[in-house]
Amino acid sequence: MRKMSKLMLYSLAVVLAFSQMLFGSSLRIAKAEDADQVEDLVIYQNVPEAETVINGGSIQLKALHVYREGHFMLASKNLVWDSANKNVAEVDTNGNVQFTGQNGRTFITVTDGTFKDRIALDYKVKPSSKTEAEKGKPESEAAVIKQEGQRYDVIGNAISKMTLEEKAGQMLMPDFRNWNGKNVTEMLPEIEQLVKKYHLGGVILFRENVVTTEQTARLVSDYQAAAEKFGLLLTIDQEGGIVTRLQSGTDMPGNMALGATRSPEISWNVGNAIGEELASLGINMNFAPVMDVNNNPDNPVIGVRSFGEDPQLVADMGVAYTKGLQAAGVAATAKHFPGHGDTAVDSHLGLPEVPHDKERLKQVELYPFQKGMEAGIDAIMTAHVTFPKIDGTKAISQKTGEEIAIPATLSYKVLTELMREEMGYEGVITTDAMNMKAIADHFGPVDAAIRAVKAGTDIVLMPVGLEEVANGLLDAVKNGEISEDRIEASVKRILTLKVKRGVIKEETPASVEEKVANALKVVGSAEHKQIEKEAAEKSITLVKNDAALPLNNDDQVVVVGNTFVNDLGSAIKERHENTTIISTTNYKLSEAQLDQIKNASAVVVGSYTFSVAGRSPSSAQMLMVNQIIGMTDAPVIGVGIRNPYDIMAYPEIDAYLTQYGFRPSSFEATAGALLGEFSPTGKLPITIPDLNGGVLYQFGHGLTY
């Protein structure tokens, strides 16, 4: 019996000890859950930074759960929506509101059973509608009346509860093009760990990452899943034209082609179509449009990426593109501030300089950016270009040991004093890639990032060495070189952009299969292909035509060239069977090829250049073009595949048209114009100089049939 008692006592002690462990464990679990508990439910449209978009008499309301740790997420489960006045508007179970057309006010409420919020919606006569003296029913419009109060400052609340590491992480946007020598086309555990470890605010994708529509949608979805509290800015350079990253998307003509159309409507359509394709993939920010004024024909990096040489044209087309892009829910980025157009050095390779003073810059380079700011562009990218008349500050180059001027990306005078204070810009500023030689050669990776943040940037794009730069920024705050207030100002702008564009993590996200299915419908759709076709055709510019065009149906046509000659030749051959394509490997023509050219009824020569050396009359390509012009009596038609300036090297040609880019739609449009399927209407967005400093063809010049 005594043994039994001892055994019972021992068992009881074990049970008590185990229950104590269990109880302690449950306490810890409860505390962990407490830290992640919902603290409030607010209607997204009540948040001051949220955009309220009413489309065709309806608005999609959304609700946010605000958590004790400060972050917020889109809520959708177990929500009950209700309208106080169904005569004015009704709301369905998903928060979709439909106005009835009857004037008045209603309050839409939402509850999750614990928390509740409401928003006011008005349907009232437009103040500007009809005067009493006029006949007819006055027109009414819908309006959202946001509620006010501290509970809606979800961004301020979030920042107040973020760690310094989380704040600094929002400002970092690396690329993961490759990993261990292979292109990153799916999420890797190592990358997921980096997203979490450094609390990254965004990631930029490149052509290596976005191969197919399905694969891209899955990769982007996995990136968002990897982010712990705040949605990621998933960005890309989908400008259109020569800078097109999506391998399965619609290859829109580039900016200079759009400039040649002179149509803001086409520019809006192109921006919107690009935005719809990106949004369907989950890519929420585009590093476009380029708003540089390309007033230097020798520019090796901007060129046809610009809408043209005229500041007003660049502004008009750039703002239209921006509005189209942002209407699709994708953030737009004007680049490269304060202007990379008047340079003859590629900042990927060296440090260019723009020597003009502020007055000249305001009239030319800065003008499109100012108009973009006024139109509400989401972000602006800086240029790795020096502007000594704005900022003469010097630094010692780590490469040469010499004194060099500070590039705009690292300049407080450019980013804060000029852009923020003088021009009044309040949106997000991002650097251009920090691995470009203009920065990487002359400044250390950490030093460059610290200088950029002190100058006023919000996002450090593609930092060289993520760990070193992240730790370097933290150290700079801890030692007082950068204030925490300065970091918080950037985080507020970044989170404001995310809220504005709906880049918010969801408690119950759509399945990746749903995302893929939607993307497959949108990317490369027939509607987008039609926009692409119209833009390409309206861009074709007939610069010269001495009775050589359009080609006749019975002509024996020979197409000659090197780069992209098969694309050009095939597009012509599809329409004109009697076509021969001669592709040269080194711009040397064999006797047999020379005979083919001599026997042709018409010769089409496709020239492709991207540099001053390429368009020199002494280059092998241009020597070949002029050889052909001199040896045949048949009309010779030049096609400037990329640069409109190519005719500078062969001005004696019989006809010349330019297409501003090498995407398939541009070759199709050129072939159509050559064969008279439509009359070309494009106007030069730039001046074509002659080789002696005069003018060969004026800005705005363009012929038709």
Active site residues: 348, 432
Task: Quickly count: other Cβ atoms within 10 Å of residue 17's Cβ.
Answer: 10
Residue whose tokens read 């739609």:
665
Coil, strand or helix at 189: helix
Residue whose tokens read 């096609």:
639
Coil, strand or helix at 112: coil
C-alpha of 240 from chain center: 10
149 touches 64 (CB < 8 A)? no
Q: Provide the β-strand partners of residue 285.
A: 235, 331
Q: Is the peptide bond before 368 cis (omega within 30 degrees of 0)?
A: no
Distance between CA atoms of residues 623 and 646, nearest Å: 12
223 touches 644 (CB < 8 A)? no
Distance between CA atoms of residues 586 and 565, nearest Å: 13
What ranges make up the beta strands (E) of 239-313? 285-286
Nearest to 89 by CA among 112, 47, 120, 110: 120
Nearest to 563 by CA among 632, 623, 640: 640
> Quick one: CA dihedral 682, 683, 685, 690, positive or negative?
positive
How many separate helices (H) and strands (E) can be counted in the chain?
A: 21, 30
**DSSP line for 406-458:** PBGGG-HIIIIIIIIIIT---SEEE-S-TTSHHHHTTS-HHHHHHHHHHHT-S
Amino acid at the residue 18: F
Q: How many angstroms separate the Cα of 400 from the Cα of each of 290, 441, 449, 676?
A: 31, 9, 20, 57
Task: Quickly count: other Cβ atoms within 10 Å of residue 705's Cβ.
Answer: 12
Coil, strand or helix at 267: helix
Please work out, in degrees rounded to the nearest 5, the angle formed at the alpha carbon of residue 179 by the alpha carbons of 173 and 184. 75
Coil, strand or helix at 145: strand
76 touches 508 (CB < 8 A)? yes
269 touches 315 (CB < 8 A)? no
Q: How many angstroms separate the Cα of 116 from the Cα of each of 77, 82, 151?
A: 14, 11, 12
Distance between CA atoms of residues 44 and 61, nearest Å: 7
Local structure of residue 668 (DSSP, 8 states): H
Cα diameter, the chain = 125
639 touches 604 (CB < 8 A)? yes
108 touches 83 (CB < 8 A)? yes
Residue whose tokens read 């991207």:
610
Task: Quickly count: other Cβ atoms within 10 Å of residue 117's Cβ.
Answer: 20
85 touches 91 (CB < 8 A)? no
Please provide the distance, in angstroms rounded to a whole number, between the alpha carbons at the two ends of the chain: 116
